[in-house]
Amino acid sequence: MRLRYVLGQYEYLQQHEKAITEPEKRDYKLNDVFKNQNPIHVELGCGKGKFLRETAIKNPNINYFGFEKSVKVAYRCAKSVFENDPDNYYIVYSNGDILEEVFENKSIERIYLNFSDPWPKPSHYKRRLTHKNFLHVYKKVLTHNGEIHMKTDNNDLFEYSLEQLKEDDWNLLLVTRDLHNSPYIKDNVMTEYEEKFVEEGRKINKLIAQIKI
């Protein structure tokens, strides 16, 4: 579904108490936004924020940032914040390629890649969030035993991601090509895209990769 551009979406995000815009221009790191030492988990491409919000509610002792690069989508995400939502999550209107700039090194415990854009043309593979250039950045910002949790319906992107992770020497802690018919479905929080795909009967791939210690 195409989202309508509503005048003032950026201004709305700028004023929203749960949204952070232009994090790279701030004179502090995103680590300092929360006034506690709880672990930090980041979702890249959080969409309208269902997973981000529900996961934050389930895990009050973890701090969450959901990056979303589309102003229209980030606006929709901010619009669906509830008044009584917990204070352990923020929506970051930004491209997720600036993690190194906006976080301290070795400070993120987990990165979620949920139904990332597949970029099917080989000439666009560099934009894939599991391209080796991104993996190198994740290695810098993730803690020593930090993890990537990835879900996708796209088999080509999934196989590509497994290859990139193997070549870059990550430990694969979990690999399933049918999450919803596997034991790993326990505690799964569905994203918006996942709900749609599951309803259509598509199989969902999931992997968890960890930095080798």
Ligand X SMILES: C[S@@+](CC[C@H](N)C(=O)[O-])C[C@H]1O[C@@H](n2cnc3c(N)ncnc32)[C@H](O)[C@@H]1O
Q: Which residues are at the interface with ligand X (CB under 6 A)? A: 44-47, 67-70, 73, 95-97, 114-117, 191-194
Structure tokens at 130: 């599991």
Q: Is the CB of 171 or the CB of 190 nearer to ligand X? A: 190
- Does 169 participate in catalysis according to the annotation? no
Q: Is the dihedral of CA 25, 26, 29, 31 positive or negative?
A: negative
Q: Which residue is nearest to ligand X (CB)?
A: 45
Q: Is the CB of 39 or the CB of 118 nearer to ligand X? A: 118
Q: Is the CB of 16 or the CB of 128 nearer to ligand X? A: 128
CA dihedral 155, 156, 157, 162 (to 10 degrees): 80
**How many Å apart are CA 90 and CA 21, to the nearest integer?**
10
Q: How far is the CB of 150 from ligand X (least distance, A)?
A: 11
Distances (CA, A) of 67 to 120, 162, 181, 198, 207: 22, 23, 29, 24, 20
Distances (CA, A) of 156 to 8, 120, 208: 37, 8, 17
Q: How far is the CB of 47 from ligand X (least distance, A)?
A: 3
Q: Is the CB of 55 or the CB of 116 nearer to ligand X? A: 116
**How many Å apart are CA 4 and CA 149, to the nearest integer?**
31
Q: How far is the CB of 178 from ligand X (least distance, A)?
A: 17
Q: How far is the CB of 195 from ligand X (least distance, A)?
A: 8
Choosing from 117, 168, 169, 178, the catalytic residue is 117
Q: In this structure, are residues 101 and 92 in contact, taking their beta carbons and an 8 Å threshold?
A: no
Instruction: State the catalytic residues.
Output: 117
